[in-house]
Structure 1
Amino acid sequence: MRVEQLAINSQCTSHRNLEEALDAYAAAGFRNVEPHLNLIKDWLADGHTVEEARRLFESRGLRVVASSQLEVICFGSPDARMPNLRANAENARLIRELGADKMIVGTDGPEQNSVEALGLVADAVRELAEVTDDTGVEIAIEFNWSPIVRSLQSAVRVAELADHPRVGVLFDTAHYHVTPTKLADINRGSVRYIKHVHLDDMPDKPADLTHRDFDRVLPGEGVIDLPEIISALERNGYDGFFSVELFNAELWRLPAKEAARRCYESLVRLCS
């Protein structure tokens, strides 16, 4: 992992305004940012334009590399799914206008989980990719942000069934830790679908009793063998961004610049 691959997800400094957050990320040393779309949309709602948002990032030497907001609704009637499809398509266009090319999504689930139901997830995500062909934005399915896509294996199965070059997987080390995903699953066959990576660590307690979000700690402060995972990803062909994503109450209580500094320093220690 190289310094130029490091990124920060704005969830690490939750409840901050966009300008304060970007000042903090730039001061910490980050050059790549993964802002949650709520942060962007709140700023736009205050009367700003997308072009002004782009200049806000550029003036601080930052670029947007990915973003997220919504799940993809895959089940139910077409009439019920259509507003969600339109909203996700609008998000993809906003992400493209901000200069990024990755949109991370979750999914809903069926009444009864089954391998066959993964085909309906694949159909819905492929449809989203097709209606956003003009953006070039890649759709990364985040496993465990879904009641059915619960592991790297199931996310890869969906990507395989979707059979679209812009449909892939978001790999998150916290989800890796708390799901049936194993190190051996990070192989050439799965990594070819991984579009983006979230890095975080987890405390020393049973994985099945660990909350997938709110128990996250800074990389290096938990029990996940992050160097081993990063090595497996890179050995099998991953060369994208590594974005720290934490939902950590202790970090949220800190000034944004201090929280961002701690995030950056925890990542730099993992760089080769």
Structure 2
Amino acid sequence: MTKRYISRRQLLGRTGAAVAAVTTTAIGDKTARAAGPKVPFKFCLNTSTIRGQKLPLDKEIEIAAKAGYRAIEPWVHKIHEYAGDGGNLKDLRKRITDLGLTIESAISFFQWIIDDDARRAKGFEQAKRDMDILAQIGGKRIAAPPAGATREPGLDLMKAAERYRALLEVGDKIGVVPQIELWGSSKNLHRLGQCMFVVIESGHPKACFMPDVYHIYRGGSDFNGLKQLSAHAIQVFHLNDYPADPPRDKISDRDRVMPGDGIAPLTQILRDLCATSNRAVLSLELFNPDYWKQDALTVAKIGISKMKTAVNKALGVR
């Protein structure tokens, strides 16, 4: 065995390097701790929030970008209007990308869930058209609420799950994922358990659920139910708030307020999402006529500021 002798200079050099490495690591750890937890969510503007200003789609997109959002959730009828007025969808898609935005979801009301076979067939045809035009501008997902089945209770949830699977298979061919959307005032799919039954029993790997703070409250479910849902199940979450008055059974869409301006347990909701390693898109969806009377860009800026404040409070970010 050959003995190796280390000079005093070499020893001091190696010791110094080790100390430097430890010091650097300690500084890095301290900096990381000072930076706090990283915000995992992506902020999105649902254009209902500035719907009352009656702006064209391209203007809504520009406002979202100027306000600092990274995504937008348009209403599909506005895309059809844009194309019908001669707008070039390929150019619009490029514009969206150039502005640094993505289309994480979109709103439509095709009647995919109803029992009437003829009407449901028409609903599926509308779904195909809506998903197709959405895909042309880069849309990833689309809302699938219980449109057409809101007045009469007792919808067979197993049949709803079968119909949802069929809708997902349509989306597979187009490249857009329909998301079950809870409607709190509906007689069907107004509770978390009902929606997740349809998602689970569809048996489709892309099945997912789009919750909404207001709708969960309006529908009567407890927000603790969100603790049971995986990150895959919730990919887009409608963020908003609601006041103490009107009461739960009287409140309507127009009563929604900015995050933090109401009584919703947003801190709990956001922490529960993070606890499941969720990286959901938080989409601001409001229908408040008071906001519609204001400048659209101002409303959008206030909205993202309120969203970030709520998230930072929940995660302890300063």
Match of 2:3 in 1: none
Contact 1:150 1:179 in 2 (8 A): yes
1:183-262 paired onto structure 2 within 5 Å: 183-189=223-229, 192-205=232-245, 206-211=247-252, 213-262=253-302
**In structure 2, distance between residues paired with 1:88 and 1:180:** 29
Task: Give the structure with the larger strand fraction.
Answer: 1
Task: Note the C-alpha offset of 1:22.
Answer: 2.0
Match of 2:107 in 1: 68
**In structure 1, distance between residues paired with 2:41 and 2:273:** 17
Larger mean Cα displacement after TM superposition, 172-181 or 86-95:
86-95
Task: Note the C-alpha offset of 1:172.
Answer: 0.2
Match of 1:133 in 2: 172
Instruction: Give the alignment partner of residue 63 of structure 2, picking from 8, 11, 24.
Output: 24
1:144-159 paired onto structure 2 within 5 Å: 144=183, 146-159=186-199
Residue type of the alignment partner of 2:285: E
Task: Note the C-alpha offset of 1:44.
Answer: 1.2
**In structure 1, distance between residues paired with 2:309 and 2:141:** 26
Does structure 1 residue 168 correspond to structure 2 residue 208?
yes
Residue type of the alignment partner of 1:160: I
Residue type of the alignment partner of 1:247: F
Contact 1:72 1:124 in 2 (8 A): no
Q: 1:33 to 1:110 in 2, by over 3 A?
A: closer
Superposition misfits of 4+ residues, deviation over 3 angstroms = 188-192
Residue type of the alignment partner of 1:208: D
**In structure 1, distance between residues paired with 2:226 and 2:144:** 20
* Unpaired segments ≥5 residues, structure 1: none
**In structure 1, distance between residues paired with 2:110 and 2:129:** 13
**In structure 1, distance between residues paired with 2:209 and 2:39:** 21
Superposed CA offset, 1:190-226 (max 9, x none): 6642231000000122222211x11000011111111
Q: 1:165 to 1:136 in 2, by over 3 A?
A: farther
Residue type of the alignment partner of 2:94: R
Instruction: Give the alignment partner of residue 81 of structure 1, picking from 109, 117, 120.
Output: 120
Match of 2:181 in 1: 142
Contact 1:23 1:257 in 2 (8 A): no
**In structure 1, distance between residues paired with 2:113 and 2:259:** 33
Larger mean Cα displacement after TM superposition, 131-140 or 28-37:
131-140
**In structure 1, distance between residues paired with 2:230 and 2:188:** 18
Match of 2:45 in 1: 8
**In structure 2, distance between residues paired with 1:197 and 1:151:** 15
Task: Note the C-alpha offset of 1:69.
Answer: 1.0
Match of 1:58 in 2: 97
Count of residues in Structure 1 that have an aligned counterpart in Structure 2: 270
Larger mean Cα displacement after TM superposition, 155-164 or 127-136:
127-136
In the superposition, the TM-score normalised over structure 2's length comes to 0.79
* Unpaired segments ≥5 residues, structure 2: 1-37, 313-318
**In structure 2, distance between residues paired with 1:204 and 1:111:** 26
Residue type of the alignment partner of 2:251: T
**In structure 1, distance between residues paired with 2:168 and 2:238:** 22
Does structure 1 residue 101 correspond to structure 2 residue 146?
no
Task: Note the C-alpha offset of 1:187.
Answer: 2.2
Q: 1:78 to 1:13 in 2, by over 3 A?
A: same
In the superposition, the TM-score normalised over structure 1's length comes to 0.91
Task: Note the C-alpha offset of 1:111.
Answer: 8.0
Task: Note the C-alpha offset of 1:123.
Answer: 1.5
Contact 2:231 2:280 in 1 (8 A): no
**In structure 2, distance between residues paired with 1:263 and 1:24:** 12
Q: Find the residue that maps to 1:70 and give its secondary structure.
A: coil
